[in-house]
A and B are shown apart, each in its own frame.
Chain A
Amino acid sequence: MTVSAAIRPKSPIERLLASNSWLVFAFLYLPILLLIGFSFNENRNVGIWTGFSTRWYGEMFQNNDVMRALRNTLIVALVSTLVSTALGTMAAIAMERFRFRGRGTLDGLLYLPIIIPDVTMAVMMLLFFAQAFDLVGGFARVNFGLGTIALSHIAFNISFVAVVVRARLSMLDRALEEAAADLYADRWQIFRRVTLPLIMPGVAGGALLALTLSLDDVVVTSFVSGPGSTTLPVYVFGLVRRGVTPLINAVSTVMLVASMVLVGVSLLFQRGSRSPDQEEGLT
């Protein structure tokens, strides 16, 4: 295919496709660029440009609420990513490499969080914690907060990690693992020295997905957060509804740049760990 693409002259269809693609890219990037641009707007009114200024970035770092929200976001994201990656990877390995009773149910359980709308998930967790606190409230002081948020994030992240790692596992050639077994390696050694390194890109991809979903989450978090445990996306969501100034743009730009840097780093990491004959479009 690629050969013929190289020698076939640019037909009108080709040009049409190319221009359509440029339009799509423009559609994808324009809002982001404008958002970043307006974060340097001197005017309090977001849409009307009056001059260049970095005051909003200064304000942002001085704003206690923003800083607290940022801290909360990072804590929750870190915890939920670590735990869900560990649990999700284990679930994936169990599903792909073992046969055991209850495998079917776990299969179903793993797919549900992916198809569930986040509104329903938020409702589920709210009811669950409300009920749980009713039960436990007599014994210990529990409240909605970072704990409930992290627990909820882990609940849906496990499935996403599992799906990614399972995809990776199913692509692996079992011959490598079998060869290791022939060489008298026990199960644990096979896992540690053959399987794990091979699925690392998948695990990393799953972790990145979990991190992104945790950083992105608005609805579930706002249902189960409590006083002082607002996360950055929920805070921005609230800001948008309360008063629009370029402060939100500044916060958003920082979040955007941070996530892009994160993606860039992880891609570099994956590229480095991937062998030449594994070069495909995606993991």
Chain B
Amino acid sequence: MTSKNSRRLVGLAVLGLVVAACGGGDETADGADVECEAGVTDAETLNFYNWSEYIDPELILAFEAETGVDVVESFYESNEAMLAQIQAGVTYDLIVPSDYMVGIMIEEGLLMPIQKNSVPNISNLASEFTSPAYDPGGEYSVAYQWGTTGLGVNLSVVGEDFEPSWALIFDPELTSGYAGGVSVLDDPRETMGAALKYLGYSLNEASTDALQEAADLIAAAKDNIATFDSDQYDEALVTGEVAVAHGYSGNMIVAIGEADDPDNFAYVVPQEGGTLWVDNMAIPADSAAPCTAHAFIDFLLDAENGAALTNWNYYASPNAAAEPFIDPEVFEDETVYPSDELRSRLEIIADTGDFEINFEDYFAQAKN
């Protein structure tokens, strides 16, 4: 390299350093002083960042008609992917993080406090959701939907009396006999969690030994794992591409219901236990339309709208006032609203503090 070029490189590095040093550091919430009136919007567009297929398009249209706001939807497939975008500085007005992610984002100062008086319908929330462990006092998040993570199975492949266990995806003896193999979520906490539960640990086991065991289990099972997929697992199941799919309750139930032969499939939560998750609506600190976001949250907390949500995506609603409006067949469905007995075996994913990155690292190691 010529001396001129090496000088340029040094110059670049210095410049890069200067640029990098100048910015950053200011992570405090911007919109803390914003005053919002109930139902009043402050912008023409609402940038809504959500999981895919999680909201009835009719609801979006209804909100747009009611307020004249244009809702621009973007989709993500994992909490981490959403956090990556927020951390990179992309501005959204409303996001839907899961339980543990809310805790992380609060700590990072990425969320704007919710003004309860701008969201009168918040009184509709069932009491168990008003002050969750990951957001004491419900200051920064409002529960959206909750559900379970489990397995969708193709009965013609696994047989009618299969054992509802995580072995259906982790035990090579079982899976090597399944044409097409299995599909597993591409989500570190969910998949490592499933492995941990199968091995008898807690979902939130903060021990590297346990994680290593879980990673080894997944690696050993990999020959029969067709794909790590957080998006199309339901499609892959009902088209016969895979025999067993790891995924979220609502998506799975809807897909099975729409299949040509719904009786050929079933959704189960394994007996070793699994994840109970709660997704929440939250407003990023640098949102350009905080009042509109508040109005949208209020809109979704309305009793009938909350029920419409559940009736569409088959996830359980945290909205107590919505219960009378939910389709009975959905409300009675144990796969949507798990029994108390099942709930006792489920855990909510919790932020493990400094240990958190190990889940991602061991997962990457297992996938490799």
User: Taking the complex as a whole, does A directly touch B, i.e. does some CB pair lie under 8 Å apart?
Assistant: yes
Interface, chain A (partner B; CB < 8 A): 45, 65, 104-105, 108, 126, 129-135, 137, 141, 143-144, 226-228, 230, 238, 241-244
Q: Known: A228-B45, A228-B74, A242-B53. Is A108-B88 also a contact (CB below 8 A)?
A: no
Find out whether the CB atom of A144 lies under 8 angstroms from the CB atom of B23. Answer: no
Q: A133-B23, A226-B91 are in contact. List 8 more A-B contacts (CB 8 A).
A: A129-B88, A129-B89, A131-B19, A135-B19, A135-B23, A137-B89, A227-B90, A228-B72
Find out whether the CB atom of A241 lies under 8 angstroms from the CB atom of B19. Answer: no
Task: For chain B, residues 35 to 94, give those with C-beta under 8 angstroms from any C-beta of chain A.
Answer: 45, 47-49, 52-53, 72-75, 77, 88-92
Nearest to A126 among chain B residues (CB) is B88
Q: In the bound complex, how far is the Cα of B92 from the Cα of A227, in angstroms?
A: 7
Q: Known: A104-B4, A241-B77, A244-B232. Is A227-B22 also a contact (CB below 8 A)?
A: no
Complex partner residue of A242 from B45, B47, B48, B52, CB under 8 angstroms:
B52
Most buried by B among A105, A131, A132, A133: A131
B122 in contact (CB, < 8 A): no
Name the 6 nearest CB pairs between A and B, nearest first: A134-B23, A227-B47, A228-B72, A135-B23, A133-B89, A143-B91
Find out whether the CB atom of B239 lies under 8 angstroms from the CB atom of A134. Answer: no
Find out whether the CB atom of A105 lies under 8 angstroms from the CB atom of B4. Answer: yes
Interface, chain B (partner A; CB < 8 A): 2, 4-5, 8, 19-20, 22-24, 45, 47-49, 52-53, 72-75, 77, 88-92, 229, 231-232, 235, 239, 286, 288
Q: In the bound complex, how far is the Cα of B48 from the Cα of A4, in angstroms?
A: 68
Which residues of the other chain, A, contact B288 by a CB distance below 8 angstroms? 141
Complex partner residue of B232 from A45, A65, A129, A242, CB under 8 angstroms:
A242
Which residues of the other chain, A, contact B53 by a CB distance below 8 angstroms? 242-243
Which residues of the other chain, B, contact A243 by a CB distance below 8 angstroms? 53, 232, 235
Q: In the bound complex, how far is the Cα of B4 from the Cα of A205, in angstroms?
A: 33
Q: In the bound complex, how far is the Cα of B49 from the Cα of A225, in angstroms?
A: 13
The distance from the CB of A270 to the nearest CB of chain B, in whole angstroms, is 37
The distance from the CB of B71 to the nearest CB of chain A, in whole angstroms, is 10
Which residues of the other chain, A, contact B231 by a CB distance below 8 angstroms? 241-242
Find out whether the CB atom of A130 lies under 8 angstroms from the CB atom of B89. Answer: yes
The distance from the CB of A239 to the nearest CB of chain B, in whole angstroms, is 10
Complex partner residue of A105 from B8, B19, B23, B239, CB under 8 angstroms:
B8
Find out whether the CB atom of A108 lies under 8 angstroms from the CB atom of B5. Answer: yes
Find out whether the CB atom of A144 lies under 8 angstroms from the CB atom of B90. Answer: yes
- Ordered by A's residue number, 12 sampled pairs between the chains whose C-beta atoms are within 8 Å are A105-B8, A108-B5, A131-B20, A133-B23, A135-B23, A141-B288, A143-B90, A227-B47, A227-B48, A228-B47, A228-B74, A242-B232
The distance from the CB of B18 to the nearest CB of chain A, in whole angstroms, is 10
Find out whether the CB atom of A227 lies under 8 angstroms from the CB atom of B232. Answer: no
Nearest to B25 among chain A residues (CB) is A134
Q: Known: A141-B288, A242-B52, A243-B235. Is A227-B72 also a contact (CB below 8 A)?
A: yes
